């Protein structure tokens, strides 16, 4: 199995490091050609406006939709979760992939001064884990066939729909491997 980490912009190196620590074969995905070589894909954290533009220029928008619609598991963190959503409440300028049946709000907690760490409990994971919310988005509407795997202060923060996993936080910067393990089991 080869895990691809979308490497257009953002903290793809941190996701690669988690894959490395789990001893999972992984490659950086910069072109549609690279995408053809992978069995799963991680959309990292980063700036969602930047990544969405680079997705389109490189033809990834249709290529990723085709792969996910034919069963490829995909996991988005923060910016990656925004890109998977059906729509963004407070920004119409970003074209999302519309693969995950949720609505999401960008920078929902405010500027960097409002970024925070939290201990979260996840369905199917034994111990609470420490993760970072960095200028994080908030999932504002959950559509049909979407399961909530974790919440924080009443907001869903980790959701799953079939083989699509999305989280509004960053397990990759606190060296947390639990979420990646969940993803690898999808």
Residue in 15, 26, 152, 170 annotated catalytic: 170
Residues that bind another protein (CB under 8 A): 7-14, 30-31, 45-47, 49-50, 53-54, 57, 78-79, 91, 106-107, 110-113, 115-117, 132, 134-135, 170, 173
CB within 8 Å of 138: residues ≥ 6 apart: 104, 105, 108, 109, 155, 168
Catalytic annotation on 78?
yes
Contact (Cβ atoms closer than 8 angstroms) between residue 143 and residue 101: yes
Residue burial 137-146, b: 16+ Cβ < 10 Å; e: rest: bbbbebeeeb
Cβ distance to another protein smaller for residue 20 or 31: 31
Catalytic annotation on 19?
no
| Least Å from the CB of residue 131 to another protein | 10
Cβ distance to another protein smaller for residue 60 or 183: 60
Residue in 78, 105, 152, 180 annotated catalytic: 78
Catalytic annotation on 15?
no
| Least Å from the CB of residue 116 to another protein | 7
**Cα(140)–Cα(88) distance, integer angstroms:** 9
- Whose CA is closest to 100, among 53, 28, 149? 149
Which residue carries 């925004």 as its tokens? 82
| Least Å from the CB of residue 57 to another protein | 7
Kindly list the catalytic residues: 78, 170, 172
């Amino acid at each position: 199995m080869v895990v691809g980490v979308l490497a257009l912009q953002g903290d793809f190196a941190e996701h690669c490091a988690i894959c490395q620590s789990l001893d999972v074969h992984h490659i950086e995905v910069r072109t549609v050609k690279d995408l053809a070589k992978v069995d799963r894909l991680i959309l990292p954290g980063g700036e969602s406006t930047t990544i969405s533009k680079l997705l389109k220029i490189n033809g990834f928008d249709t290529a990723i939709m085709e792969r996910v619609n034919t069963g490829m598991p995909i996991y988005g963190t923060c910016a990656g979760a925004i890109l998977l959503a059906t729509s963004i409440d407070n920004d119409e300028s970003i074209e999302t992939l519309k693969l995950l049946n949720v609505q999401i709000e960008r920078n929902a907690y405010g500027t960097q001064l409002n970024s925070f760490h939290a201990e979260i409990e996840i369905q199917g994971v034994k111990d609470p884990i420490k993760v970072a919310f960095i200028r994080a988005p908030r999932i504002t509407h959950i559509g049909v066939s979407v399961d909530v795997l974790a919440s924080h202060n009443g907001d869903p923060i980790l959701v799953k729909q079939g083989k699509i996993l999305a989280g509004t936080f960053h397990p990759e910067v606190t060296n947390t491997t639990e979420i990646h393990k969940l993803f690898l089991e999808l």
